[in-house]
Amino acid sequence: MICGLVVVVALLVIRLSDDGPDLPENIALPDGIEAKAVTFGEGWIAIVTADDRILVLNNLTGQIQQEILIKSP
């Protein structure tokens, strides 16, 4: 039981200390934008930012195709 508890705590520490998702090398976010989540689609990548936006990028060029503002209720 103690070993199981140690494993759970270690996994939580590792997971919670993560710096965020890894992006492909050809994708560079504009300065000051922090990625909170990344979704990969066929021909596009969607990035949820820390400032409540969704950026849809072309997965080959890395250019922003669409920007969606997330409105809080």
- CATH (residue range 23-73): 2.40.128.630
Helix (H, G, I), strand (E, B) or coil at 37: strand
- Cβ proximity of 48 and 54 under 8 Å: yes
User: The whole model's pTM is what?
Assistant: 0.65
* pLDDT for res 60: 84
* pLDDT for res 62: 84
Q: Which residues pair with 57 in a beta bridge?
A: 45, 64
Q: Among 8-17, 35-44, 52-61, 64-73, whose mean pLDDT is lowest?
A: 8-17
Contacts 24+ apart (CB under 8 A), 47-51: 47/23
Q: What does the pLDDT look like over 3-51, one tens digit per residue?
A: 999 999 988 888 777 666 667 777 788 788 888 888 988 989 999 998 8
